Amino acid sequence: MKTGLHLIVLLACLAAQPAQAEWRPAERIDTYAISGKTGIELYQSIGERGPKAGQTRAIAHTTFDLKWSRKYEPLQDGSCRLTTARPHLTIIYRLPKPSSKLPPDTQKLWDRFIDGITTHERVHGEHILDMVRKIEAFSVGFTVPDDSGCKKIRQELTKRLSELSQEQRATSRDFDRNEMQDGGNVHQLILGLVNGG
């Protein structure tokens, strides 16, 4: 009987808590123009015009724009709690696009190539989304003692968010390394485009 009563009280408490509203990321696809009539010509054009990645150029690139709506609440014991952290996330994909109509055989090669590259980039998008969800989960309810002005909490939050950001970058680097090594998925896509099959 006591267990049933505790369960009813617990459910009532959960119902009384405001649920975090569901949010969805926005997506944007930006393209850069490439030229060529054959697979090799298209790939050479990517090498000349692709987004910069350090000293080289990439085929495609995924980045994001992230803003937060946050609400901090000073508590009676002098601590500060982050009660709301709602992300506004846009995942941005930058992909190559031929600037003119391709011959039918090249178009088939291109379609296979760009579909594979888009799938690859969407995994990076999932890594970003996973990072944002981890930030959200960590943030809501995060409390710092002796912070009645809600200033320390922002510094502590920044440290933790930096760690999660570094984790996401490492995950993306490892994924790229596997995909681009000899025999990897992206390596195979490049060979298919350049060698005509």
Residue 131 lies in a domain: yes
Task: Give the separation between CA 190 and CA 99, rounded to whole angstroms.
Answer: 19
Q: Examine residue 127 and state whether it is found in any structural domain, yes or no.
A: yes
The 10s digit of each residue's pLDDT in 118-172 is 999 999 999 999 999 999 999 999 999 999 999 999 999 998 889 999 999 999 9
Backbone angles phi, psi at 96, to 5 degrees: -75, 150
CB under 8 Å to 30, separation ≥6 — which residues?
92, 93, 94, 95
Give me the domain span that covers residue 166.
23-195
- Each residue of 17-33: pLDDT tens digit? 344 458 899 999 999 99
**Count: domains in the chain:** 1
Burial 157-196 (b: 16+ CB within 10 A, else e): beeebeeeeeebeebbeebbeebeeeeebbeebbeebbee
| Structural domain contains residue 130 | yes
pTM tops 0.75: yes
pLDDT of 6 reads: 36
Of the pLDDT bands very low, low, confident and very high (cuts 50, 70, 90), residue 15 is very low
193 token code pair: 């485009």
In a domain, residue 6? The reply is no
In a domain, 16, yes or no: no
Residue 100 lies in a domain: yes
Residue 165, domain member (yes or no): yes
Any domain includes 12? no
